[in-house]
């Protein structure tokens, strides 16, 4: 039978352990040097001889003290050093939580991102927080959002249900970007979250048989993405922010852990979900370091 002193030691040790883990999750892991998560794959029907390096940044959630302009600038340097052919930004530049010490304005985070450089360009999409925290866009039920205008002002193209054709080594490749699937918050006239995404209309703009890379902030759309798309890239989930033994207890997806994180293959279709860089709701990361994606195709 445990003694009173032994019980108190156990309680004290448990409290200290919990406090240490909490301090790590809030103050250490979110600020660790960003991890580069590398993938190498050749999707079905990918052209022989086309080698393409895509670097992706997701879920920056600019705010102080965690994601300052200086830190974003350091991420930019890190991304450029990976020698990408093309850089893609997967949405959610605006902070998604109230627990901050100060804001980072759109002009500040966009200016920091303007340093991204790649031979085939820098392309972006928007995320749900880029819409939710834009009162004018919510009232209008349409954009352009403040985030879109900030990105375009520094020369970063924003794809909302649109496509662009790139070419490398004589091969074409399409980058298709969806508008956000949860863009509009509920109102009396608009019950539930309303998406502005148009997958069929976007893919209809693809003009030839070159491969398609789809940028979609939320990964849930992947359940309906056709095989015509070689690769879908998403963010949004942050890998659950807390991930243990390949499982995240809370995932902002109706599919739970199915599309929570990493490389998912279903019926010869490929999805890669980034763990992202910042966080929303709570400033916690545990078992899910901030990451930049490097994807080598072909």
Which pLDDT tens digit goes with each residue over 226-246?
A: 999 999 999 999 999 999 988
- Do residues 56 and 292 lie in contact, with contact meaning Cβ atoms separated by under 8 Å? yes
Cα distance between residue 159 and residue 155, in whole Å: 13
User: What per-residue confidence (pLDDT) applies to 295?
Assistant: 98
Cα distance between residue 70 and residue 218, in whole Å: 27
Average pLDDT (151-166) is: 98
- If residue 146 lies in a helix (H) or strand (E), which one and from where to where? helix 146-153
Average pLDDT (247-264) is: 95
User: What per-residue confidence (pLDDT) applies to 31?
Assistant: 53
Residues 107 and 86 in one domain: yes
C-alpha distances out from residue 44 to 123, 207, 251, Å: 24, 19, 29
Residues 118 and 194 in one domain: yes
User: What per-residue confidence (pLDDT) applies to 33?
Assistant: 65
Residues 78 and 26 in one domain: no
More confident residue, 76 or 19: 76
Q: Tell me the pLDDT of the chain averaged across its residues.
A: 90
User: What per-residue confidence (pLDDT) applies to 189?
Assistant: 87
For residue 90, give both structure tokens: 């997967």
User: What per-residue confidence (pLDDT) applies to 22?
Assistant: 38
Residues 110 and 139 in one domain: yes
Asked whether the predicted pLDDT for residue 4 surpasses 70, the reply is no
Average pLDDT (8-21) is: 38
Specify the CATH number for the domain of residue 112: 3.60.21.10
Cα distance between residue 175 and residue 216, in whole Å: 11
Asked whether the predicted pLDDT for residue 14 surpasses 80, the reply is no
Cα distance between residue 93 and residue 126, in whole Å: 8
Residues 69 and 118 in one domain: yes
For residue 238, give both structure tokens: 């942050």
pLDDT in tens, 76-133: 999 999 999 999 999 999 998 888 999 999 999 999 999 999 999 999 999 999 999 9
Cα distance between residue 233 and residue 214, in whole Å: 6
For residue 229, give both structure tokens: 């798309």
Residues 72 and 25 in one domain: no
- Do residues 285 and 242 lie in contact, with contact meaning Cβ atoms separated by under 8 Å? yes
Average pLDDT (132-147) is: 97
Residues 42 and 157 in one domain: yes
Residues 43 and 86 in one domain: yes
Q: From the CA atom positions of the chain, what is the Rg in Å?
A: 20
Domain count, the chain: 2
For residue 277, give both structure tokens: 């860089």
Residues 3 and 110 in one domain: no
Residues 134 and 253 in one domain: yes
Nearest 5°: CA angle at 84, between 68 and 199? 85
User: What per-residue confidence (pLDDT) applies to 80?
Assistant: 98
Residues 19 and 51 in one domain: no
Asked whether the predicted pLDDT for residue 10 surpasses 50, the reply is no
Residues 105 and 19 in one domain: no
Judged by DSSP in three states, 69 sits in: helix
User: What per-residue confidence (pLDDT) applies to 90?
Assistant: 99
User: What per-residue confidence (pLDDT) applies to 6?
Assistant: 46
- Do residues 114 and 74 lie in contact, with contact meaning Cβ atoms separated by under 8 Å? no
Nearest 5°: CA angle at 274, between 271 and 276? 160
For residue 126, the enclosing domain spans: 34-297
């Amino acid at each position: 039978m445990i003694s009173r002193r032994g019980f108190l030691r156990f309680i004290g040790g448990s409290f200290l352990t919990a406090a240490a883990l909490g301090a790590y999750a809030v103050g250490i892991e979110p600020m660790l040097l960003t991890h580069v998560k590398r993938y190498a794959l050749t999707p079905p029907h990918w052209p022989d001889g086309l080698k393409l390096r895509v670097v992706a940044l997701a879920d920056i959630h600019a705010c102080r003290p965690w994601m300052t302009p200086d830190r974003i600038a350091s991420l930019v340097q890190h991304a450029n050093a990976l020698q990408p052919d093309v850089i893609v930004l997967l949405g959610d530049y605006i902070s998604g939580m109230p627990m901050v010490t100060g804001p980072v304005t759109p002009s500040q985070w966009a200016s920091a991102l303007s340093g991204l450089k790649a031979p085939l360009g820098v392309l972006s999409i928007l995320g749900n927080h880029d819409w939710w925290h834009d009162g004018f866009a919510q009232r209008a039920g349409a954009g352009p959002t403040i985030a879109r205008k900030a990105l375009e002002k520094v020369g970063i193209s924003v794809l909302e249900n649109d496509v662009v054709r790139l070419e490398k080594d004589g091969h074409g490749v399409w980058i298709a970007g969806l508008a956000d699937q949860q863009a509009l918050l509920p109102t009396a006239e608009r019950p539930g979250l309303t998406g502005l995404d148009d997958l069929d209309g976007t893919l209809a703009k693809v003009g030839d048989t070159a491969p398609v890379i789809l940028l979609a902030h939320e990964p849930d759309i992947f359940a309906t993405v056709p095989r015509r798309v070689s690769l879908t890239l998403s963010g949004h989930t942050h890998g659950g922010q807390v991930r243990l033994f390949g499982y995240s207890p809370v995932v902002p997806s109706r599919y739970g852990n199915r599309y929570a994180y990493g490389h998912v293959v279903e019926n010869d279709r490929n999805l890669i979900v980034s763990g992202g860089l910042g966080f929303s709701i709570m400033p916690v990361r545990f078992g899910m370091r901030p990451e930049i994606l490097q994807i080598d195709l072909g």
